[in-house]
Amino acid sequence: MKLNKKILIPIIIVVFIIVVIAFYVNSKKNEEDENNLIENNINNSTKEEIVNETEQNTINENNTEQENERINSVKEQYGFTGDNELYEESNNELSIKQSIAYRTGLIGSLEQRMPTYTEINNQRVIGEPNDAGIWISPSSRNIFLSCINSVENSYEIDENGYLKIKSEANSKYADKIDGIKRQNKLVIVDMTGINYMVDVVTGDIIKNEFEAMDPYQIYEYAGYKDANKSIIFLNSNQRNKLTNQEIIETMMDVI
């Protein structure tokens, strides 16, 4: 028996439409299921992150509270009076945080003035160099260049303030200078014979004129290990109690 084409074609069209609709509905369902799964995963992840963050905050608060208890205990023992935020405690001893000591010295060197507590607690110091290498503070460049070139006439300070070996010059300090850069370290040199620091007992910011107090003292040092930075404050040798060789050799050994 032959099917009537007039009947067959509409049937085919209807079946095709039904198949398309079924496929579309199934696709939408799969898409909704997938979206729901993603949303659930996101919600679960968000909840987990919130829980983890809350737990971490609790741990940090507990650690801070315990640290404050230890700091207060040492302060009472030895009569320290500085703000707890200035200190770090180790083996029942207090020291000024490296980050605080470094920023205090850096601001004092750059600005040639006593920093404020607000400034030394900021994470970023305006004017701080960004690149690795040996950087000479602006107030020290002339005297430092004269000093090092009197020992070995091989050096210059580039337009950014970094110590460089002159073109085609040989230097016994080449390995040290190159090593500082390879290790991605920043060493700041100040040659004014003065540095600003936080007194560990009182917490006061003070001007430490170490060269005036002891003309034979070659340097003061502020290291900030976590950031791979340091400052070395050199004796300017105004009283001629030291040789330039002593100053430069000591600096290269320390950094």
pLDDT tens, position by position, for the chain (255 residues)? 555 555 656 667 766 677 667 667 677 777 777 777 777 767 666 666 665 555 555 555 555 889 999 999 999 999 999 999 999 999 999 999 999 999 999 999 999 999 999 999 998 899 999 999 999 999 999 999 999 999 999 999 999 999 999 988 889 999 999 999 999 999 999 999 999 999 999 999 999 999 999 999 999 999 999 999 999 999 999 999 999 999 999 999 999
In contact, 235 and 221? CB cutoff 8 Å: no
CA–CA separation, 46 vs 41, rounded Å?
8
pLDDT of residue 157: 97
pLDDT of residue 45: 62
pLDDT of residue 169: 86
pLDDT of residue 73: 94
**Sign of the CA dihedral running 186, 191, 196, 197:** positive
pLDDT of residue 228: 97
pLDDT of residue 17: 79
CA–CA separation, 116 vs 56, rounded Å?
32
CA 16 and chain centroid, separation:
67
> Exposed, middle or buried by CB within 10 Å (0-12, 13-18, 19+), for 137?
buried
pLDDT of residue 123: 87
90 phi/psi in degrees, rounded to 5: -155, 130
pLDDT of residue 54: 59
pLDDT of residue 133: 98
DSSP 8-state assignment for residue 162: B
156 phi/psi in degrees, rounded to 5: -150, 165
> Exposed, middle or buried by CB within 10 Å (0-12, 13-18, 19+), for 60?
exposed
For every residue of 4-35, DSSP letters joined together read: PHHHHHHHHHHHHHHHHHHHHHHHHHHHHHHH
